[in-house]
Structure 1
Amino acid sequence: MKAIVYRSTGGPEVMELVDRPIPEPGPGEVRVRVRMSGVNPTDWKARRGSRGHTDGVEQVPNQDGAGVVDAVGEGVDAAWAGRRVWIWEAAWQRADGTAQEYVVLPLRQVVPLPDHASFELGAGLGIPALTAHRCLTIAEGGPEQLRPGALAGRTVLVAGGAGAVGNAAIQLARWAGATVITTVSSAEKEALARTAGAHHVVNYRAGDTAAAIRAVAPDGVDVVVEVAPGPNAELDVAVLAPNGTLAVYANDGGDTLTLPVLPLMFGNVRWQAVMIYTVPTAAKDHAVAGVSAAVADGALQVGEQAGLPLHHFPVERVADAHAAVEQGAVGKVLIELT
């Protein structure tokens, strides 16, 4: 089978296309014929050494993917064979990600994909959608899992609504009944965020961002889904409602964060860091279930019609795919394996 591997950390050039034996599933595992592999920022960061790597060990990159189960291991219901599925965290603490024609995974890490959902959508769930779900469900009082009406009456601010996590957060929050505000940096990204379903879009380069947000949310926002906590700290303090929650899932703009203590204390606000790989098991299960329900309802989509343009690359051009994500491509980068 075709597989992409790297044996040392570095730029996209360290990856190569090789031929590998087709793996067999063990007890409690399934084998998935991968149709699409999704590329996330954590994939190229891992390739560059963010999580360490033993030189000489072959690593297949990419956490997310979608395909069809074609074999099951001992203890797995045979009915799984032939099912369309999406995959999450394939390469987390494992040497086998989704950038290969077949991948073997524990059954827990494959999720049924409805017939109406494309493999492009399935490969674009994983890290972005599960992260967005976690960010939207860590406020005091929950909800633990999103469903229609779960965020009714609440206002959510999504920083960077044109990104993959931002796009998923907009769609999930709107599906759950929230009023959704998002910030963007250009007219192009404003159009994408509106297409994704944001009720209000603020270009933070075009005026007083805090005033614009307060104009549509005079009592403040209940939840902030934050991609750039350092640069946006002052803004977030200015727009959070009393007892609000800010969920930080990335460090765009740098690692340094300075916060004023007293305004946060008097507001009883919560700042919560989110790393989807290491969230509690129950929270991960809730996220998988909530995202699956949104997909079944047709509430999560990808493509231009959903504000998330798709960029397809054949497996032979995986280096170009990784480079596109590393260089900040707007939309979702996918690798085709069939």
Structure 2
Amino acid sequence: MKAVWYERTGAAPDVLTYGDMPTPVAAPGEVRVKLEASGVNPADVGRRAGSYRAMEFSRVIPNSDGAGIIDQIGDGVTRPGVGQRVWLYNGQRNGRAFGTAAEYITLAEHLVTPLPADVSFAAGATLGIPCMTAWCCLFGDGPIAGQTVLVTGGAGAVGHYAVQLAKWGGARVIATVSSALKAEQARLDGADFTINYKTEDVVAKAMAFTDQRGVDRMVDVDFGGNIATTLKVMAMNSTIAVYATNGNRTPIVPMRDLMERCIGLRSLVLFALPPVLLAAAQADISKWLAAGPRLHNIAAQFALSETAQAHLAVEKGDKLGTVIVDCAR
């Protein structure tokens, strides 16, 4: 099969190789997916660059998310069948060297989920880690119907799914954004109220929207960078769900403030969450997809041989949506 890999970390054009590798065979409990599309996440780029963590394997096929068609099943597989369209997540993560920047991938059956016929493979490859993370942040502590949810970075890969899922879950949604274009995207996703954190007073706007009560749930893209603002907008008995903290990786957390207002802090990284929660996320996302047309943001698409350029597009930092690699070309 054709694939892209790296054997050392560094700049994408320097370390990513495009060539031939043996086509994998599904082991017991695994399915093989003929990949049509691969989604590039910031963590995939960070792993390849060496800024995320040290390499765990001598050769890595990057990218964790993807979509395609199951073409082989291993012994003991009971749920998906050959010919099933699927989306997948955690293709390349802790314990797995080979991700989705390839024509084929084998992985455990619980990591794949049926992809509806009306969702393209490129759109399916935007689900994976962003949509799963959004769901776990929103629903990991129970239903959100009737609550007010604040999504920071509401037009980002995780944020735009969090806005859509929160509305589907019956919440009122505030989204913080950094531009008029992103505000429009958040509104298209269903946000009830948007705040430009670069030009507007987030605390004053959020508190006014909630009649000074504060928000019940926050989905936070930068806990360390946002913490000074965050604690001023949280309601009593609220929850902050944190999935990134790049603005300040070692923030000082004023625990007394959290305790006196009974603010829960849920920090998460997807691959480490309990299997039962991840299974619930997959099942609910399937219901959400089936309930109506959804927005899937594709920032750019590249051929498999252009995976280095796809990584550079993510590193540039100005994308709106997920960068996709077309594995079939």
With the shorter chain as reference, the TM-score category is over 0.9
Residue 327 of structure 1: aligned partner: 316
CA separation of 1:67 and 1:242: change in aligned 2, threshold 3 A: same
Greater CA drift, 192-201 or 287-296:
287-296
Residue 216 of structure 2: aligned partner: 222
Residue 176 of structure 2: aligned partner: 183
Residue 262 of structure 2: aligned partner: 268
Structure 1 residues 109-128: aligned runs within 5 Å: 109-128=111-130
Where 1:136 maps in the other structure, the secondary structure is helix
Where 1:85 maps in the other structure, the secondary structure is strand
Structure 1 residues 1-338: aligned runs within 5 Å: 1-13=1-13, 14-49=15-50, 50-53=52-55, 57-77=58-78, 80-92=81-93, 93-139=95-141, 142-143=142-143, 151-218=144-211, 219-298=213-292, 300-302=294-296, 308-328=297-317, 329-338=319-328
**Distance in 2 of aligned mates of 1:103 and 1:23:** 7
CA separation of 1:197 and 1:3: change in aligned 2, threshold 3 A: same
- Asked whether the equivalents of residues 85 and 114 of structure 2 are also in contact (C-alpha less than 8 Å), the reply is yes
* Aligned residue identity for 2:45: W
CA separation of 1:26 and 1:153: change in aligned 2, threshold 3 A: same
Q: Report the CA distance between 1:310 and its aligned residue.
A: 2.9
Q: Which runs of no fewer than 5 residues in structure 2 stay unpaired? A: none
* Aligned residue identity for 2:21: R
* Aligned residue identity for 1:10: G
**Distance in 1 of aligned mates of 2:256 and 2:80:** 57
**Distance in 1 of aligned mates of 2:156 and 2:55:** 28
Where 1:134 maps in the other structure, the secondary structure is helix
- Asked whether the equivalents of residues 26 and 72 of structure 2 are also in contact (C-alpha less than 8 Å), the reply is yes
**Distance in 1 of aligned mates of 2:28 and 2:195:** 51
Residue 148 of structure 1: aligned partner: none
Q: Report the CA distance between 1:115 and its aligned residue.
A: 0.8
Q: How high is the TM-score relative to the length of structure 2?
A: 0.94
Q: Report the CA distance between 1:265 and its aligned residue.
A: 2.1
Q: Report the CA distance between 1:330 and its aligned residue.
A: 2.2
Where 1:333 maps in the other structure, the secondary structure is strand
**Distance in 2 of aligned mates of 1:154 and 1:54:** 42
Greater CA drift, 187-196 or 242-251:
187-196
Q: How high is the TM-score relative to the length of structure 1?
A: 0.91
Where 1:135 maps in the other structure, the secondary structure is helix
Over aligned residue pairs, what C-alpha RMSD do you find? 1.6
Count the aligned residue pairs.
323
CA separation of 1:78 and 1:173: change in aligned 2, threshold 3 A: closer
- Asked whether the equivalents of residues 37 and 64 of structure 1 are also in contact (C-alpha less than 8 Å), the reply is yes
CA separation of 1:80 and 1:267: change in aligned 2, threshold 3 A: same
Q: Deviations over 1:4-43 (max 9, x none)?
A: 0101111112111011222211212111110000000110
- Asked whether the equivalents of residues 126 and 298 of structure 2 are also in contact (C-alpha less than 8 Å), the reply is no
Q: Report the CA distance between 1:294 and its aligned residue.
A: 1.2
**Distance in 1 of aligned mates of 2:53 and 2:222:** 21
Q: Report the CA distance between 1:300 and its aligned residue.
A: 3.7
- Asked whether the equivalents of residues 168 and 300 of structure 1 are also in contact (C-alpha less than 8 Å), the reply is no
**Distance in 2 of aligned mates of 1:197 and 1:82:** 34
CA separation of 1:87 and 1:51: change in aligned 2, threshold 3 A: same
